[in-house]
């Protein structure tokens, strides 16, 4: 039985470390990580690597197809599409990251407390969340931006609001199960405060589920941001955004299709990467859910 003991030794590693190993062993995840890293790096390094200024107009170079100097062509104002895509990634990432981070904090707290307290509070809070959920996220974002006015902060608030309800649900469900576990009762018997039980004992057990949904919802946030920019409710021009670039390109879609295609591909790659990372996280967090 010595062999068994040796085989069992990976169990001695903390559960977190095994999950990380599982996460990295999955090829889909790896591609996802590469895609996301690519987008993040290009956005962060945009000032250094962008070959041209993303905003300065140069009418002489108007609507050039991809060339050596302009690898992805130029738009109606003669601006380099590649440079604009690199800079535009910043808006997509800032908006989706801040919106989802905010939604996780606010929605997660609402869901956890609602589920832990239970009773009437839980019923009322979750019905309010149901109302929020009943709006398609684009419509909800649209309403909020229309009310607050289009700028970066309002965009983040609008998209964050659309994700609060889903995160409240995601955080609440495991809390309902966890609060019935004996270790929570043991904590109460040991005189721990409700805050301690909630944040020290329950929270670490739901983090993985929430993070998985976080990465998947970030993809949705990227799409919502692009959609709002596309219909002109995003960050104002001339700041480059992928959705805005696609919309601008539509006016010349027949003469200069690269104007819409390349920002579209950028959106696709980022969403694909986020979804792949999310799937990988989910498999790593719970190997039982893994599809055979």
Burial environment of residue 168 by CB neighbours within 10 A (0 to 12, 13 to 18, 19 or more)? buried
Contact residue for other proteins among 173, 201, 265, 272 (CB under 8 A): 201
**CA–CA dist 39, 271 (Å, integer):** 10
185: contact with other proteins by CB under 8 A? yes
200: contact with other proteins by CB under 8 A? yes
17: contact with other proteins by CB under 8 A? no
CB 118: neighbour CB atoms within 10 A?
Answer: 13
Q: Which helix (H) or strand (E) holds 114?
A: helix 81-117
Minimum CB–partner distance for residue 270 and other proteins (Å): 32
Minimum CB–partner distance for residue 105 and other proteins (Å): 20
199: contact with other proteins by CB under 8 A? no
Contact residue for other proteins among 76, 77, 135, 192 (CB under 8 A): 192
Query: Which among 94, 27, 64 is positioned nearest to 235, based on CA atoms?
Result: 94
- Selected range binding other proteins among 114-122, 199-207, 216-224, 235-243, rule: CB under 8 A: 199-207
Contact 165, 110 (CB under 8 A): no
182: contact with other proteins by CB under 8 A? yes
- The helix/strand/coil state of 235 is coil
Kindly write out the interface string for residues 108-137 of this chain, putting x where it contacts other proteins by CB under 8 A and - elsewhere: ------------------------------
Minimum CB–partner distance for residue 198 and other proteins (Å): 13
Contact 95, 221 (CB under 8 A): yes
SS (H, E, C) 147-212: HHCCCHHHHHHHHHHHHHHHHHHHHHHHHHHHCCCHHHHHHHHCCCCHHHHHHHHHHHHHHHHHHH
Residue with tokens 């920002």: 263
- Selected range binding other proteins among 41-49, 61-69, 187-195, 234-242, rule: CB under 8 A: 187-195
Minimum CB–partner distance for residue 166 and other proteins (Å): 24
Query: Which among 232, 262, 246, 72 is positioned nearest to 150, based on CA atoms?
Result: 232
Contact residue for other proteins among 12, 48, 60, 254 (CB under 8 A): 12
Residue with tokens 């300065």: 56
**CA–CA dist 5, 9 (Å, integer):** 6
Dihedral pair phi/psi, residue 74, rounded to 5° = -130, 160
6: contact with other proteins by CB under 8 A? no
Nearer to other proteins by Cβ, of 1 and 190: the residue is 190
Kindly write out the interface string for residues 202-221 of this chain, putting x where it contacts other proteins by CB under 8 A and - elsewhere: --xx----------------
195: contact with other proteins by CB under 8 A? no
Contact residue for other proteins among 139, 186, 231, 253 (CB under 8 A): 186
191: contact with other proteins by CB under 8 A? yes
Nearer to other proteins by Cβ, of 155 and 206: the residue is 206
Binding site for other proteins (CB under 8 A): 11-12, 14-15, 181-183, 185-186, 188-192, 196, 200-201, 204-205
């Amino acid at each position: 039985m010595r062999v068994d003991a040796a085989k069992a030794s990976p169990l001695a590693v903390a559960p977190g470390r095994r999950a990380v190993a599982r996460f990295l062993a999955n090829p889909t995840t790896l591609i996802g990580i590469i895609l996301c890293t690519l987008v993040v790096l290009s956005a962060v390094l945009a000032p250094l690597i962008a070959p041209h200024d993303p905003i300065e107009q140069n009418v002489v170079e108007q609507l050039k197809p991809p060339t050596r100097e302009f690898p992805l062509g130029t738009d109606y104002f003669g601006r380099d599409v590649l440079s604009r895509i690199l800079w535009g990634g910043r808006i997509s990432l800032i908006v989706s990251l801040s919106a989802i981070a905010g939604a996780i904090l606010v929605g997660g707290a609402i869901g956890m407390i609602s589920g832990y307290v239970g009773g009437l509070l839980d019923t009322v809070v979750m019905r309010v969340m149901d109302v929020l959920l009943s709006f398609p996220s684009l419509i909800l974002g649209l309403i909020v931006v229309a009310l607050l006015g289009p700028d970066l902060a309002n965009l983040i608030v609008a998209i964050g609001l659309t994700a609060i309800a889903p995160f409240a649900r995601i955080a609440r469900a495991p809390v309902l199960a966890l609060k019935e576990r004996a270790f929570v009762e043991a904590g109460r018997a040991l005189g721990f405060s409700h805050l301690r039980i909630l944040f020290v004992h329950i929270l670490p057990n739901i983090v993985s589920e929430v993070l998985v949904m976080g990465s998947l919802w970030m993809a949705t946030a990227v799409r919502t941001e692009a959609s709002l920019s596309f219909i002109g409710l995003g960050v104002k021009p001339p700041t480059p955004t992928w959705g805005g670039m696609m919309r601008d390109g539509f006016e010349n879609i027949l003469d200069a299709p690269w104007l819409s295609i390349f920002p579209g591909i950028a959106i696709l790659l980022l969403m694909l990467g986020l979804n792949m990372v999310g799937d990988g996280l989910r498999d790593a967090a719970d190997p039982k859910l893994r599809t055979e």
